[in-house]
Amino acid sequence: MTGAKPIVLILCTGNSCRSHLAEGILRACAGDWLDVRSAGSQPAGYVHPLAIAVMKEIGIDISAHRSKHLNEFQNLPIETVITVCGHADQVCPNFPGQVNRHHWGFEDPAQADGSDAERLAIFRRVRDEIHSRFTAYAALRRADWPR
């Protein structure tokens, strides 16, 4: 891809939490050489406020993100698709130019019950799990990236 950054599309069902957490983290650590996007198979229409809050805690602002349907990306040359929930993995189509596909499932923090503090703790745990996986992915990709 001459001059263009490879597009990495992160998918979940609602595109309200997990995919935005992953998009923000991957963009923060690899956005200079990867074009990172996210979408959902059944978009919720909003980014969950607790997802925005826990990302702010680690210095990543996702408040301008929006919930999008995966069909918005059907005509783009997606290099890598990463699904972060089982349903999205099952319904994920192939995209033009797609080379790689990964499935890394994470608990949906939007489904968490309990007090505000308990729900926030679940969002933080899922954020940290996603952070660990996606920073490792970025490091591996960077090691293979042409200099």
Find the catalytic residue in 7, 10, 11, 12.
12
Alpha-carbon gap, residue 122 to 128, rounded angstroms: 10
| Residue 2 pLDDT greater than 60, yes or no | no
- Of the chain, the end-to-end C-alpha distance in Å amounts to 14
Query: Is the per-residue pLDDT at 144 higher than 80?
Result: no
Residues 110 and 128: their CA atoms lie apart, in Å, by 15
> Does residue 92 carry a catalytic annotation?
yes
Residue in 8, 50, 81, 92 annotated catalytic = 92
Residues in Cβ contact with 50 at an 8 Å cutoff, skipping those fewer than 6 apart: 17, 109, 119, 120, 123
Q: 85 catalytic, yes or no? A: yes
Average pLDDT for 111-115: 94
Whole-number average pLDDT of the chain: 91
Q: What is the pLDDT of residues 39-59, one digit of tens each?
A: 999 999 999 999 999 999 999
Q: Is 12 a catalytic residue?
A: yes
Domains of the chain with CATH codes: 7-140 (3.40.50.2300)
Q: How many angstroms separate the CA atoms of 63 and 65, rounded? A: 6
Higher-confidence residue of 94 and 38: namely: 38
pTM above 0.85, yes or no: yes
